[in-house]
A and B are shown apart, each in its own frame.
Chain A
Amino acid sequence: MSDRKVETNQVGLTRSDYRGERSTLCPGCGHNTISVQIISACYEMNIDPHRIVKFSGIGCSSKSPTYFLSQSFGFNGLHGRMPSMALGAAFADTDMKVLGVSGDGDTASIGLGQFKHLVRRNLPMVYIVENNGVYGLTKGQFSATAERGLELKYQGENPFLPIDIAKEALIGNASFVARSFAGDPKQVRELLKAAFSHRGTAVLDIISPCVSFNNREDTLHSYQWGRQHEAPLHDISYVPTRRAIILDEFDEGQTKEVTLHDGSIVVLKKLEHDYDPTDKWQALKILEQAEKERWLVTGLIYVDPDQPTLYDYLDLTEKPLNRMTNSELRPSPGSLKEINQSMV
């Protein structure tokens, strides 16, 4: 087998160049599946890992960025406050892909404010919420996305209605909202690719079961519930620009296409219902209906590829700010003289 060729992608990297440290999360944790799909998506999209920067908050999910893309810079920030850190850092080189990984404890409680302001500003970044309804690292307390009536071993019964992250994102004017399920890795991967191609904040609320504290078959964040109740809005395929020809493979009339900012195309194959992810009203309705009827609705819920981003408002130079030379940073002595003269 010594002459076996190691497969590389178009930037000359192998799949293992996208890997990270060995995961220290529990075996079977949904987050590990998501990490694998992040690796696959980035490898298949031929993204140079040096052009990706990773951020996370605090919690099990937020530990995961060390388990993929070890050649990428990353910063593990504070509980619920990764969005602000990612925003500040993103300005250093606005061409880089920004990937944030958070959890429901991180995003839906202390992080709710920063989350809503992130989507409102539409900072170009992929924002993943690995959502399991429970605090794992502190051993099994309810999170804000836990359903009413959920019983946990040491907590009793949850009396409160849950926060729906996808709904919060939509109401917060997010430009890209998707929901997926760690038990549906293909969909996770295709949505990730679409998210990386979106110019704006792409929110991925991924139900990612916690095998240690919240995986009973009758609970909404468990593998079994997900497998039995997942209701995909469509069968999603991501088509990079140069492979547009592949579109012929899809039956006309049975698909809907959304062209993203970089020219890539998301092909949504019709399943049971006609669903238009550019219609926000329909998006809100489907989330409301899914909650009432207890389906796990997944897929690309809403997208607006043309919504202006934070960068558009600030009239930024295109050169990476963090590579500016000293002479570009300090105004001339003459300009200070003028300021002094204006202050007498």
Chain B
Amino acid sequence: MDKDIESTDKNHYQKDSIINDFCMTICTVNGSGSATANSTLLRALFHMGIPVSGKNIFPSNIKGLPTWFSIRVSKDGYLARVAHDDIIVQMNPMTFEEDLKFNISGGVVFYADHIDMEIDRDDVIVYPMPVKDLIEQADVPRNLREYMQNMVYVGIVSQILGIKLDVIHQVLLDQFKKKTSVAESNFAVVKLAADWAKDNLEKKDKYHVEQMPPLEGYIMSDGNTAGALGAIYGGFQFCGWYPITPASSLAESLNTFAPKLRKDPETGKNNFAIVQAEDELASIGMAVGAGWAGLRALTSTSGPGISLMTEYMSLAYFAEVPVVVWDVQRVGPSTGLPTRTGQSDLILNYYLGHGDTRQLIIIPSTVTECFEFGWKAFDFADQFQTPVIILSDLDLGMNLWMTKAFEYPDKPIDRGKILWEEDLEAFGKEWGRYLDVDGDGIPYRTVMGNSHENAAYFARGTGHDEYGNYSEDPEVWRRNLDRIKMKIDNARDILPEPIIQENQGARIGLIGMGSTEPAILEAQDKLLEQGISTDFMRIRALPLSDKVKEFIKSHDRNYVIELNRDGQLHEILNIDYCDQSDRLISLSYIDGLPMPADYIIQSVSEKEQN
């Protein structure tokens, strides 16, 4: 295979060669089977040791509408979306003209030559691909031609850029697992197309891919798979869920992995239950019921589902029921852009519920953090006897990311203050379900099945005293609600602390959360090149750690960067730290796409120059 690479070597050392640093967007028709081809390219680049990220921009549609898959290759390890394309692979006549506008000058267009379209730009390099001819020549069953024609661009692009065919071969074998013959027939198309390109195309562009040292300690995964695995290693026992984009694949991953990982070793029976509910009103009801009964319970949903879950979340908060809720955010209000990403559910979740509520929120930024928070969330929920919401988003949840390998939990499962028969017998103090024995606002709980004569109590959403008895006494109400507030407040110091990246002497702070981290890290480097030195604080939980305020206070100006219209994190910071509001500047917008670094670089440098 090395010979294939050599043929392009003569171009390698041209002055303007760009090696391992470009963005390539593959434009296809939804439902045409391009996902396998795209992930083959993505994984092959990863196997060559090159930092890479892939973003699938897809419509709310099963078949027919345009879809785009952007692969960013970055020797420097930048994983954020970029708003322009160096390379376009065009398989979709519908979007041909429009897509071309995103191509930079000096960029490259690969296009299926059956698309009858004029390319009216002379500043791009064009490679036609005889997709139909090549697929005719290949030995492919007629019914699979539409799908396998995507392997033509895999072969041609690999040949021109220098992606190794033996790596492509290996990735195909991995992807098709036991179906070796399917992998081989796909590879035959790749090889045919690569050979055609070698013989018929002269490399004229400046983009190259080169092997880098292996990416030790990294894997490729999406956040929803990671979240499900985290839940499994956190000892999840019950999941009630309802399908919704972009959260469905989280519960579906539980369905894939739990039967393998969570069987009783002796009987081979399942020690978990997963139930697809009739709606989100029921999925949260099931999870709250299970959490109350002593199971590690979760549900996964997105914004519209959270709206429906509100009343049960209010009950769970007040009846003090541990439960874990994943909100994989999409774009609202209303049905909004159901297949696009955003961070607009922050305020909704933090204050979720009627009456005085405040929920615990944890916000992962990376796929590996989805795994980590996936198991930790159960410990927090049990520890504080309250719902824990994990705020992910479509970009993190559904896209395939290069991420650090999942780390096995570094501490044992913490079930919090739960009393079984022998614990109650040995308790030695007065016990009431809502009695604050330790002065930390967290009472001890018992669960159904406990046969101790004092164990049973009646949980309710109505006013109750320390023993769970119905009460409308003003004093009792106030005392109870204040205790719950204290409990939630105490979580500030226990939930994941903010992560702070400092540049010595920086007076400017960047504050962000969740999946915008890659854009902020990239912007930090590029702002420094412009002479603007910044520190970065990534907030990982609400209520806010005291360290957040320290960071804000120690910077003259803090840019709060987020993917929503109103600057919701900025609003929460302003409420909690109103004395710091002149140090807080909101940088926020939402258009459905992941945030590129350019937005931050431009916004910050403009404001800093004024």
Chain A positions within 8 Å of B, measured between CB atoms, are: 48-51, 53-55, 65-66, 70-78, 81, 83-93, 96, 113-114, 117, 121, 310, 314-324, 326, 328-331, 333, 335-336, 339-340, 343-344
Tell which of B283, B292, B420, B456 has the most Cβ of chain A within 10 Å: B456
Residue of A nearest to B315 (CB): A78
CA distance A51 to B449 in the complex (A): 6
Distance of A157 from chain B, by nearest CB (Å): 32
- Pairwise interchain contact A77-B287, C-beta atoms closer than 8 A: no
B261: A residues at CB distance < 8 A: 331, 335
The reply on B146 being an interface residue by CB < 8 A is no
CA distance A199 to B400 in the complex (A): 45
A90: B residues at CB distance < 8 A: 289, 293
Partner of A344, one of B219, B267, B311, B448: B219
CA distance A90 to B405 in the complex (A): 36
User: Which of B234-242, B482-490, B582-590 is the contact stretch?
Assistant: B234-242
The reply on B462 being an interface residue by CB < 8 A is yes
The reply on B271 being an interface residue by CB < 8 A is yes
Partner of A322, one of B46, B447, B455, B470: B447
User: Which of B408-416, B552-560, B569-577 is the contact stretch?
Assistant: B408-416
Sample (24) of A-B pairs whose CB atoms are under 8 Å apart: A50-B451, A71-B456, A73-B458, A75-B319, A76-B458, A76-B461, A77-B289, A81-B282, A81-B285, A87-B285, A87-B289, A88-B238, A88-B240, A88-B286, A114-B278, A114-B282, A114-B285, A117-B282, A310-B275, A317-B264, A319-B264, A322-B294, A328-B264, A339-B257
Distance of A96 from chain B, by nearest CB (Å): 6
A314: B residues at CB distance < 8 A: 270, 273-275
The reply on B71 being an interface residue by CB < 8 A is no
Within 8 A of A (CB), among B222-238: 229, 232-235, 237-238
- Pairwise interchain contact B450-A50, C-beta atoms closer than 8 A: yes
The reply on B406 being an interface residue by CB < 8 A is yes
Q: Mark B289-314, 1 if CB is under 8 A from A, else 0.
A: 11111111100000000000001100
Partner of A89, one of B229, B281, B290, B450: B290
CA distance A117 to B287 in the complex (A): 16
Partner of B290, one of A65, A88, A121: A88
CA distance A192 to B315 in the complex (A): 30
CA distance A74 to B458 in the complex (A): 5
CA distance A76 to B295 in the complex (A): 18
- Pairwise interchain contact A85-B285, C-beta atoms closer than 8 A: yes
B218: A residues at CB distance < 8 A: 344
B294: A residues at CB distance < 8 A: 92, 322
- Pairwise interchain contact A96-B288, C-beta atoms closer than 8 A: no
CA distance A326 to B233 in the complex (A): 10
Distance of B271 from chain A, by nearest CB (Å): 5
CA distance A73 to B446 in the complex (A): 9
Tell which of B273, B295, B462 has the most Cβ of chain A within 10 Å: B273
The reply on B277 being an interface residue by CB < 8 A is yes
The reply on B479 being an interface residue by CB < 8 A is no
- Pairwise interchain contact B293-A339, C-beta atoms closer than 8 A: no
- Known A66-B470, A117-B278; contact A317-B285, beta-carbon cutoff 8 A: no
CA distance A66 to B459 in the complex (A): 10
Chain B positions within 8 Å of A, measured between CB atoms, are: 46-47, 218-221, 229, 232-235, 237-238, 240, 257, 261-262, 264, 267, 269-275, 277-279, 281-297, 311-312, 315, 319, 405-406, 408-409, 412-413, 415, 420, 446-451, 453, 455-462, 470
Residue of B nearest to A55 (CB): B289
A78: B residues at CB distance < 8 A: 285, 311-312, 315, 461
B271: A residues at CB distance < 8 A: 316-317, 319, 321, 324, 328-329
B238: A residues at CB distance < 8 A: 88, 91, 321
Tell which of A70, A113, A331 has the most Cβ of chain B within 10 Å: A331
Distance of A296 from chain B, by nearest CB (Å): 31
CA distance A50 to B452 in the complex (A): 8
- Pairwise interchain contact B408-A77, C-beta atoms closer than 8 A: no
A65: B residues at CB distance < 8 A: 458
CA distance A316 to B261 in the complex (A): 14
A51: B residues at CB distance < 8 A: 451
Partner of A76, one of B234, B447, B459: B459
Distance of B209 from chain A, by nearest CB (Å): 18
- Pairwise interchain contact B273-A91, C-beta atoms closer than 8 A: yes
A330: B residues at CB distance < 8 A: 233-235, 409, 413
Distance of A312 from chain B, by nearest CB (Å): 12
- Pairwise interchain contact B269-A329, C-beta atoms closer than 8 A: no
CA distance A55 to B315 in the complex (A): 14
- Pairwise interchain contact B289-A336, C-beta atoms closer than 8 A: no
A318: B residues at CB distance < 8 A: 267, 269
CA distance A339 to B220 in the complex (A): 11
A117: B residues at CB distance < 8 A: 277-278, 282
B446: A residues at CB distance < 8 A: 73
Residue of B nearest to A98 (CB): B448
Distance of A291 from chain B, by nearest CB (Å): 27
A344: B residues at CB distance < 8 A: 46-47, 218-220
